[in-house]
Amino acid sequence: KLLGEICDRVRIMTYDYHWRGGGPGPIAPINWVAAVAEYARSVVPAEKLQIGIPFYGYNWGTGEDAVAQTWTDIQRLIEVYQPNVNLAARDSSGPIEESWFTYRRNGQLRTVWFADHRSLQAKLNLIEQMDLAGIAIWRLGNEDPQNWDVVRKELVENPSVLQRVVNSYLPDH
């Protein structure tokens, strides 16, 4: 609560739900991001909150820590191994909105989960619904190029988002 009183912005790391040292799964499932943001809003004003957005993926082998993957790495794997790429819209815990696929390399099953423009869109919709201050991206250069079309449409061309951001910097707002 004190952070919300003294900080201009609070950035929440809403990614690495499944991380390098854990088992395969979504990096930033939207249901978990929403739960974290909802809790954060209970102690920090929404107009100060920014959620972290992953612009990367992870590639897990059986019994191994995951390896971080850029969009280019993931596209190369898809081209070489031609897996069925799935969008995990939801599981038993609720909405997920991340893509994944499996493939075999040297006889070993590997699982890749990654963020793309669709998962970004879901998170930007959440920001709008929860009236949050915006996003913080980890890490530029790793992303799906279509992410920038989504950012332009939702954050640059959307007057309600622009007005909310501008207002948060003006006195008495």
pLDDT on residue 79? 98
Picking from 146, 39, 25, the residue whose alpha carbon sits closest to that of residue 96 is 25
Alpha helices in the chain (DSSP H): 2-6, 30-43, 71-81, 117-130, 147-151, 159-169
pTM of the model: 0.90
pLDDT on residue 1? 81
Domain spans of the chain, in order of start:
2-164
Consecutive 10-residue averages of pLDDT for the chain (173 residues): 89 97 96 98 95 97 96 98 92 91 97 96 95 92 94 81 64 60
pLDDT on residue 172? 62
pLDDT on residue 22? 95
- Under CATH, to which class is 2-164 assigned? alpha beta
Residue whose tokens read 């040297």: 106
pLDDT on residue 169? 65
